[in-house]
Structure 1
Amino acid sequence: IATLVKRLDTRIPQVLIEARIVEANDTFAKEFGVQLGIVRANRDGSTYSNIFGGNTGTSTAFNGLGVLADDPTLGVGFGVNLPATDVLTNPGSIGFNLSKFTSGGSMALDVRLSAAEAQNLAKVISSPRVMTVDNKKANIIQGEDIPYLSISQNGTQVQFVEANLQLIVTPHVTAENTILLELETHRDAPNFETTVQGQPAITRNKAETSVLLNDGETTVIGGIYVVEKTKVANGIPGLMNLPYIGRFFRYDKDSEDKKELLVFVTPKIIR
């Protein structure tokens, strides 16, 4: 009985979930966001190999830390090299990409993100942290309420629609002190091109996956897009608004800015 009580009377481990939500432009996403080939140095420091396959080679010792495969000092190919373009325009790509890197790779990640922000290639829009216990969900929401005009019998009213990026993480700590993460990602965004009585349609993206990580490793989910469309009209005031002939005095420009959201998740066991 004493053995059973001792086994049951065990402190439940807590897990700190650190997330970094990064908004990256197309250039940064293609160069880094989905080129997540990762290498791990052997203990003797003589060789390294890609976790996800690809080329191998020799290098100096890295003290067992993971390093990014696009480091200019490494002459290897990427283990993962899938440009995160739309599935409809590029069937060879994937909508939601997932990869992971070691704690050493996470340090390199912070440096790379800081450099990208300095060059206006990416922006860390949120860095939430949440503590949860083993086998319990942690819920992280990043978003905003967008106003729109709703037309009804009572007149025109201002209402709001949620545009959220939601990350649900459930950690499971194994006996080997690894962490099995159940990840669920939702992104809801209004589509004002399709409306019913002023209310926009909701575009929904969802991804679910499970990944096994060591304590302090980082996993990343990519392929979540934010598309902003703008229309600008320039011309001669007064003349540009004339019917029929106004277009001869007006210049219309439609632009589309597509950015990718990269979600980095790092679990750490707290005992």
Structure 2
Amino acid sequence: MVDLNLLPWRDRLYHSKLKRVTGWFLAGILVLTGIGWGLMQHWQQQLHTQVQRNQQLQQEVQHLRHIRPLQRVLPSPKLEIQAGERVQKTKMNRSLHIKVVTVHYAKALDLAAMIKDKTNGLLSRRGTVTVDPRTNVLWLEDHEEQLKKLLAFIKRLDIPAQQIVIEARLVNMNQESARDLGIRLGLIAPSKLGTESNTLPSNGGRLGLDLAAKPLEATAASIGLTEALWTTQRLLDVELSALESRGKAKVIASPRLVTSNQIAAVIESGEDIPYQEFSANGTTSVAFKKAVLRLQVIPQITAKHELMISLVINQDADSGKRVQGVPIISTKSIETHILMRHGQTIVLGGIYQQDHNRQNDQIPFLGDLPIIGEVFQRKQMRTRHEALLIFITPRIVGS
């Protein structure tokens, strides 16, 4: 097949030139576009470098580039300080309000000390607090917002303290009687001492109680501890009364103390032993030393409505000995911390006393004869071992 070009030779020449011109034009556009793109990238990089060098900020908003110094955009420390001072002046210019608060249960002096403490942040710079101890009144002066915080703080702390009644029995008895009492009241295994149980063993109505009777070789520093339910307290009273009537026990004291939460309750019974005291200039004066039985109880009510009891018991007695006229006091003490429930009875033991009595009886004249005199003599040695038992029963008032 033959392709015949029927166009005149002039038209063919025109079309050939048009193709060459179009090719050159397109090539020129491509070259210029590449050069422009390269220049644009170089220009943007140069601009970014220059902006960073001059510590300026570049922002593009609606296809427009804005270049500003950073000082105009970021606040300087000086400007921040000035702004803070202006805010503080604004607060200072606000009016102060006065509120008089009567404190009902807490001490106004204690509340004022906590309010004035700067670490609590309860008072502003212009705020003041004044106390009248006689009427237990607080005079508050501060901004309205700060007064609201102060009133909420006082309301939270000004609440009545819970009261605790502590019943104690201090009983002196010999160790055999203490051991017999423990058996009669239902002895718990020694391994259970100091532990807590929700149930007591069945003892035919007897009290589940261990009086922690120690052997004779026990030291005075040892301590026995157990617990009993408050419903058996009448049985305990009966047993102690029976022992006392037979002369086998002696109830030294049965105090009942009422104290507030975390406030110490103290009771002591004994005597002050006088002695002469000499001063450096030769004058004499009379001084006293205490020989008392002292019981200190500090109760604390826990979040679970239990009682953490801190007990300190001291039994001081006159030893009968003197050093340059000053009496020597024999001291025995127990200090312990116990977690109890309301109405439980704790029995503490471990304070022991030993008395040795020697008695010689003889027939006059015959007992003094050599060799055969012992036939007319009678010698007796008596040793008495006594233990001090402390029964503690705390109760929360209103429980």
- TM norm structure 1: 0.69
| Displacement after TM superposition at 1:159 (Å) | 9.0
Q: Choose from 74, 94, 105 the match for 2:232.
A: 105
Give the aligned residue type for 1:177: H
Distance in 1 (CA, whole Å) between partners of 2:335 and 2:194 is: 22
Q: Choose from 63, 70, 95 the match for 2:222.
A: 95
Instruction: Report what 1:23 is aligned to.
Output: 172
Contact 2:362 2:378 in 1 (8 A): yes
Distance in 2 (CA, whole Å) between partners of 1:130 and 1:79 is: 24
Report 1:226-265 matches (<5 A).
226-240=353-367, 249-265=376-392
Instruction: Report what 1:185 is aligned to.
Output: 313
Deviations 1:133-164 (A, max 9, x none): 111111121334568999xxx9xxx9975432
Instruction: Report what 1:215 is aligned to.
Output: 342
- TM norm structure 2: 0.49
| Displacement after TM superposition at 1:211 (Å) | 0.7
Distance in 1 (CA, whole Å) between partners of 2:327 and 2:369 is: 31
Distance in 1 (CA, whole Å) between partners of 2:325 and 2:373 is: 28
User: Any gaps of 5 or more consecutive residues in structure 2?
Assistant: 1-148
Corresponding residue SS for 1:7: helix
Contact 1:134 1:171 in 2 (8 A): yes
Change in CA separation of 1:221 and 1:70 when aligned onto 2, cut-off 3 Å: farther
Contact 2:211 2:224 in 1 (8 A): no
Q: Which has the higher contact order (CA 8 A, sep 6+)?
A: 1
| Displacement after TM superposition at 1:106 (Å) | 2.6
Distance in 2 (CA, whole Å) between partners of 1:176 and 1:136 is: 19
Q: Choose from 173, 177, 180 the match for 2:301.
A: 173
| Displacement after TM superposition at 1:222 (Å) | 0.4
Instruction: Report what 1:128 is aligned to.
Output: 255
Say which one has the larger Rg.
2
| Displacement after TM superposition at 1:206 (Å) | 1.8
| Displacement after TM superposition at 1:178 (Å) | 1.6
Contact 1:23 1:259 in 2 (8 A): yes
Q: Choose from 312, 316, 323 the match for 1:196.
A: 323
Distance in 1 (CA, whole Å) between partners of 2:357 and 2:371 is: 23
Q: Are 2:215 and 1:85 equivalent residues in the alignment?
A: yes
Distance in 2 (CA, whole Å) between partners of 1:239 and 1:160 is: 47
Distance in 1 (CA, whole Å) between partners of 2:276 and 2:368 is: 25
Deviations 1:53-99 (A, max 9, x none): 89xxxxxxxxx9x75x593568xxx896854125xx359x9711122
Distance in 1 (CA, whole Å) between partners of 2:196 and 2:262 is: 31
Distance in 1 (CA, whole Å) between partners of 2:202 and 2:173 is: 17
Distance in 2 (CA, whole Å) between partners of 1:20 and 1:82 is: 16
Instruction: Report what 1:71 is aligned to.
Output: 203
Instruction: Report what 1:60 is aligned to.
Output: none
Give the aligned residue type for 2:171: V
Distance in 1 (CA, whole Å) between partners of 2:327 and 2:250 is: 27
Distance in 2 (CA, whole Å) between partners of 1:19 and 1:248 is: 52
Distance in 1 (CA, whole Å) between partners of 2:387 and 2:211 is: 16
Q: Are 2:161 and 1:12 equivalent residues in the alignment?
A: yes
Contact 1:94 1:223 in 2 (8 A): yes
Give the aligned residue type for 1:84: K
Deviations 1:170-218 (A, max 9, x none): 01112332211001111222334x5535655333222211111112211
Deviations 1:34-55 (A, max 9, x none): 988569xxxxxxxxx999489x
Contact 2:196 2:227 in 1 (8 A): no
Contact 1:37 1:51 in 2 (8 A): no
Change in CA separation of 1:94 and 1:208 when aligned onto 2, cut-off 3 Å: closer
| Displacement after TM superposition at 1:112 (Å) | 2.4
Distance in 2 (CA, whole Å) between partners of 1:172 and 1:95 is: 25
Corresponding residue SS for 2:235: helix
Contact 1:99 1:220 in 2 (8 A): yes
Report 1:148-163 matches (<5 A).
162-163=290-291
- Identity across the alignment (%): 33
Change in CA separation of 1:143 and 1:229 when aligned onto 2, cut-off 3 Å: farther
Instruction: Report what 1:32 is aligned to.
Output: 181
Give the aligned residue type for 2:232: G
Change in CA separation of 1:213 and 1:141 when aligned onto 2, cut-off 3 Å: same
Give the aligned residue type for 2:301: V
Distance in 1 (CA, whole Å) between partners of 2:182 and 2:293 is: 18
Corresponding residue SS for 1:10: coil
Hey, which of these two has a bigger chunk of helix by percent? 2
Give the aligned residue type for 2:334: A
